């Protein structure tokens, strides 16, 4: 991009530089070349900096790597949008500085007023003309790059952003720039040409005057003096002004020194003397230049005043186009839209005719869409085109879809009816299952209650058995104590029996001794007999008591055995009651879990019943909607329908 602009700049710069060097003689070739090179380097470096984001995007795009991020694309877009305006300023300033430097060099070397006016007008003309022409050229150079960048932005879902530059503003800017450049170029050329002609006329008049004086002096033998104003006599060539001495080999010499605005002329008398003229050069370049500028401005004023009319002539059709396009884009309004009217056969008229043709196509498509929206799919589009083909394909596909939807709606309605019947049957089965589950739940609840009662009874039995075991243990202890006491009584009875036997033996012995003693022992014999009777009674009583004690002991032993058996039975009963209680508790827990499971099953059954009811209702609604959908599809008019 930059190299193309640089090549164009070189092509434009060469004629301007040659004009300043050869035509105007303002500066030397070396100085002009150096200044122009510095100017080109200045704007070229600035342009590279401004286009750096765009060049980075272009390199990445050519490399074909990963997609650039949004910020890089926006930076490149901003660079391409802002660069033309900034480039115009920098480019114009570079020309202004370069020509200003060359003009200053020319001022130092010395220029006439006409040269100054001509060079200054030429300088301003170049500043207006070349940058004004370079901006459209620069935009055309950037067009392909900008178009590729816009494609990338649209591919990312982004819209290009940039300052709005009205078309008329650009056209008026180019028009004014070129008009001003043309005017100033004309002023420069006319001023330069007039100054050249006036200089030639002044030199010619001076030469004529000195030639006449030289001829007259030669005819009079050299006795007369020059009569022309500003003329004088000199003795030889060596006394001529330095400006004329450089013109060797001529009888008449004349020249104008523009830097000093002086005219020099000399004519040989024939005797070695010269008539010399030196006078001011009448240079009204500034006055004439100002007059020309005023005249050109006044002459161009009607053209400038025609700018609004030109603006209206250009923008009125474009504004109408923009308004119509905006209504279509923002509001979708196609009806009651006026066609764009133009009065000339130009490019804008071509655009307007193309827009009107596009508008007619859109209206036709809108009419077709309106007919299709009413359900008539039998409409035909005769005009060729991608959009028309898309509409035809859309209508055809829509017709096929309507047929498919109609068939599908019928199938859905039939399936919905089947689903509804199945749902009703399932709902009845679920209700029966729910009733059965409810009965099972009641049975499980009764079982749980019975298990609880059994557990309570087992707990009571366990408590009674424990109490019986404790009582039996106490009874056994008391019987054991009684048996021990009975054993003590038996020992005491044995002792009493022994005492009775001894008493009986003693009584017997006493009776024998009483018999032996005779009368003296009669009383002792009575006592002995009484004592023997008492001993016998004691012995009988002891025997009776012994038998009773033995019976008590036998009864105690039987009671202890029975009590032990009762205790063992109580222990067995307690163990059985404990097992029954444990088993009853486990059964109660299992019953509770079973009750929870049955409750959950009941809930699931209830949910299933509700879901089945909902399914049945949904199937009913689906059937109704399917029938409604099939009815809606009947509203479409298809090819082949009666």
What angle in degrees, to the nearest 10, is found between the helix axes of 2-18 and 113-155?
170
**Between these two residues, 310 and 212, which has the higher pLDDT value?**
212
Q: What's phi and psi for 414, nearest 5 deg?
A: -65, -45
Cβ atoms 35, 98 nearer than 8 A: yes
Residue 598 has pLDDT above 60, yes or no: no
Counting Cβ atoms within 10 Å, is residue 167 exposed (0-12), middle (13-18) or buried (19+)? exposed
Cβ atoms 40, 9 nearer than 8 A: yes
Residue 334 has pLDDT above 70, yes or no: no
Rounded CA-CA distance 355/338 in Å is 12
Residue 47 has pLDDT above 70, yes or no: yes
Average pLDDT over residues 564-589: 67
Using CA atoms, how far residue 440 sits from 221, 233, 308, 590, 603, in Å, is 169, 158, 101, 14, 13
The whole-number pLDDT of residue 290 equals 65
The whole-number pLDDT of residue 512 equals 76
3-class DSSP assignment, residue 252: strand
| Cβ within 8 Å of residue 18, ≥6 positions away | none
429-633 carries CATH number 1.20.58.220:
no
pLDDT band at 623 (very low <50, low <70, confident <90, very high): low
Average pLDDT over residues 245-262: 70
Reported pTM = 0.47
Cβ atoms 102, 27 nearer than 8 A: yes
Rounded CA-CA distance 538/532 in Å is 10
Residue ranges per structural domain of the chain: 2-165, 200-285, 307-374, 429-633
Region of 561 please: left (phi>0), alpha (psi -120 to 50) or beta.
alpha
Average pLDDT over residues 121-149: 75
Using CA atoms, how far residue 82 sits from 5, 152, 157, in Å, is 17, 18, 22
pLDDT of 348-377, one tens digit each?
677 777 767 776 777 777 777 776 666 666
Q: What's phi and psi for 249, nearest 5 deg?
A: 80, 15
Rounded CA-CA distance 362/360 in Å is 5
DSSP output for 152-186 = HHHHTT---------HHHHHHHHHHHHHHHHHHHH
Rounded CA-CA distance 346/588 in Å is 105
Enumerate long-range contacts of 4-10, CB under 8 Å, 24 or more apart.
Answer: 4/141, 5/47, 5/134, 5/137, 5/138, 5/141, 6/40, 6/44, 8/134, 8/137, 9/40, 9/43, 9/134, 10/40
The whole-number pLDDT of residue 87 equals 80
Residue 335 has pLDDT above 70, yes or no: no
The whole-number pLDDT of residue 156 equals 74
The whole-number pLDDT of residue 124 equals 75
- Dihedral sign, Cα of residue 355, residue 357, residue 359, residue 361: negative
pLDDT band at 313 (very low <50, low <70, confident <90, very high): low
pLDDT of 414-468, one tens digit each?
776 777 677 677 667 666 766 665 676 666 566 666 667 666 766 665 676 677 6
- Dihedral sign, Cα of residue 264, residue 268, residue 272, residue 273: negative
Cβ atoms 492, 486 nearer than 8 A: no
Terminal alpha carbon distance of the chain: 67
Rounded CA-CA distance 596/437 in Å is 12
Using CA atoms, how far residue 323 sits from 356, 373, 440, in Å, is 13, 28, 81
Least confident of 63-72, 508-517, 532-541, 595-604: 595-604
268: β partners: 274
């Amino acid at each position: 991009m930059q190299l193309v602009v640089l090549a164009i700049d070189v092509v434009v710069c060469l004629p301007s530089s040659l004009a300043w060097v050869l035509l105007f003689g303002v500066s030397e070739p070396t100085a002009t070349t150096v200044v122009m090179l510095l100017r080109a380097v200045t704007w070229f470096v600035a342009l590279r900096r401004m286009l750096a984001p765009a060049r980075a995007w272009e390199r990445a795009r050519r490399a074909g790597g990963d997609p650039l991020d949004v910020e890089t694309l926006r930076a490149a877009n901003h660079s391409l949008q802002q660069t033309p305006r900034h480039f115009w300023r920098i480019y114009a300033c570079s020309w202004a500085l370069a020509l200003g430097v060359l003009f200053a060099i020319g001022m130092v070397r010395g220029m006439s007023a006409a040269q100054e006016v001509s060079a200054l007008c030429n300088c301003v003309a170049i500043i207006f003309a070349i940058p004004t022409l370079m901006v459209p050229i620069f935009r055309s150079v950037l067009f392909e790059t900008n178009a590729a960048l816009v494609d990338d932005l649209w591919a990312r879902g982004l819209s290009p952003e940039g300052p709005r530059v009205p078309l008329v503003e650009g056209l008026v800017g180019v028009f004014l720039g070129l008009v001003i450049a043309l005017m100033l170029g004309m002023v420069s050329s006319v001023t330069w040409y007039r100054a050249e002609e006036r200089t030639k006329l002044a030199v010619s008049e001076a030469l004529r005057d000195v030639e006449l004086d030289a001829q007259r002096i030669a005819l009079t033998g050299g006795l007369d003096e020059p009569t022309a104003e500003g003329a004088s006599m000199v003795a030889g060539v060596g006394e001529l002004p330095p400006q004329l001495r450089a013109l060797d080999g001529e009888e008449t010499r004349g020249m104008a020194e523009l830097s000093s605005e002086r005219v020099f002329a000399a004519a040989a008398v024939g005797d070695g003397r010269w008539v010399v003229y030196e006078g001011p050069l009448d240079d009204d370049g500034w006055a004439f230049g100002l007059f020309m500028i005023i005249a050109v401005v006044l002459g161009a004023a009607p053209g400038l005043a025609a700018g609004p009319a030109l603006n209206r002539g250009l923008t009125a059709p474009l504004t109408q186009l923009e308004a119509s396009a905006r209504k279509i884009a923002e509001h979708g309004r196609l009806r009651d839209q006026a066609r764009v009217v133009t009065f000339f056969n130009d490019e804008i008229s071509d655009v307007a005719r193309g827009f009107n043709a596009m508008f007619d196509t859109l209206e036709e498509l809108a009419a077709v869409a309106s007919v299709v929206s009413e359900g008539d799919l039998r409409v035909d589009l005769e005009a060729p085109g991608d959009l028309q083909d898309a509409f035809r394909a859309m209508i055809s596909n829509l017709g096929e879809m309507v047929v498919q939807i109609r068939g599908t709606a019928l199938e859905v309605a039939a399936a919905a009816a089947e689903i509804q019947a199945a749902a009703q049957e399932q709902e009845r089965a679920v209700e029966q299952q729910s009733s059965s589950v409810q009965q099972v739940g009641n049975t499980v609840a009764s079982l749980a209650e019975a298990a609880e009662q059994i557990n309570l009874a087992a707990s009571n039995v366990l408590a009674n058995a424990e109490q019986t075991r404790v009582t039996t243990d106490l009874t056994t202890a008391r019987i054991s104590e009684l048996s021990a006491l009975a054993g003590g009584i038996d020992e005491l009875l044995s002792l009493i029996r022994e005492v009775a036997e001894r008493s009986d033996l003693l009584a017997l012995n006493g009776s024998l001794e009483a018999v032996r003693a005779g009368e003296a022992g009669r009383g002792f014999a009575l006592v002995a007999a009484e004592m023997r009777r008492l001993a016998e009674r004691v012995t009988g009583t002891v025997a009776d008591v012994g038998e009773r004690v033995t019976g008590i002991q036998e009864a105690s032993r039987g009671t202890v055995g029975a009590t032990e058996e009762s205790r063992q039975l109580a222990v067995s009963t307690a163990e059985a009651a404990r097992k029954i209680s444990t088993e009853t508790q486990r059964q109660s827990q299992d019953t509770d879990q079973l009750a929870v499971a049955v409750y959950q099953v009941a809930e699931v059954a209830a949910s299933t019943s509700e879901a089945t009811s909902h399914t049945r209702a949904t199937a009913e609604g689906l059937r109704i909607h399917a029938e409604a959908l099939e009815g809606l599809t009947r509203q479409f008019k298809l090819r082949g329908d009666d």
